[in-house]
Amino acid sequence: MSLKTAENNYQYNSSLPALQVGGVYEWQVSAYAGSFYLGKSQTWRFKIENSQKRSEEEGEDSTEEVAVQDTDSYRIIGDETYGADYVARGILKVAYKNVALDSLFNYNISPINTPEQYFDSLPVKVITSGLNKLSLDLASTAQFENEKYYTLEIEDGNGKYYYLNFLYLAP
């Protein structure tokens, strides 16, 4: 399904096929300014599940359908991520395509307002050629402040740089 709207939010239209319990669904946003293409978000996935809920008023069990966030989503790093924002809840999950055939993920993280101040003791990550899904456990370093913005900077073996801004939220 594709939808064009100038709104900041979208209510799923009841005339469309119903979302099914157990179904896994994906959504992505493509942004335009008039006819000028600005870019697209990563693809997000969610699943509809049953949730048992006890009704205090009625004293009986009832079933409610709820959307469950997929915690296995990774922010794809590439040329289009410059200026993009992401939320890291203790762990920064990125997908990086290693075209330079590097063996280590060469990266730095700095506060967004002081880019020259890099953090020490960041997790070391071994990578292979092709797409790598990396989970950077930032909470374990005890260097990040809750609700602060940071910049991830990656340099590949060819001297190319990639950037991703993210908001850190303590787990």
Q: Do 116 and 110 meet the contact criterion of CB atoms below 8 Å apart?
A: yes
C-alpha dist (Å) from residue 82 to 86, 114, 155, 165: 11, 17, 14, 8
pLDDT tens digits, 43-90 = 677 778 776 543 444 455 555 555 444 456 788 887 555 555 678 889
pLDDT in tens, 141-167: 999 999 999 999 999 999 999 988 888
Name the residue with higher pLDDT: 103 or 33. 103
Domains of the chain from N-terminus onward = 24-69 (no CATH), 75-169 (2.60.40)
Tell me how far CA of residue 135 lies from CA of 105, 114, 130, 163, in angstroms. 12, 24, 16, 16
Q: Which residue has the tokens 């179904």?
A: 23
The pLDDT of residue 65: 52
What pLDDT does 152 receive? Answer: 92
As a whole number of angstroms, the distance between CA 102 and CA 45 comes to 30
Instruction: Check pLDDT > 90 for residue 8.
Output: no
pLDDT more than 70, % of the chain: 73
The pLDDT of residue 53 is 42
Please indicate whether residue 42 or residue 12 has the higher confidence score (pLDDT). Answer: 12
Higher pLDDT, 126 or 62: 126
**Could you tell me the end-to-end alpha-carbon distance of the chain, in angstroms, rounded to an integer?**
34
In this prediction, residue 1 carries a pLDDT of 61
Q: What are the residues whose beta carbons fall under 8 Å from the beta carbon of 17, sequence distance 6 or more?
A: none
For the cut 60, the answer to whether the pLDDT of residue 116 exceeds it is yes
Instruction: Please give the mean pLDDT across all residues of the chain.
Output: 78
Pair type for strands 60-69 and 44-55: antiparallel
Q: Is the pLDDT of residue 101 over 90?
A: yes
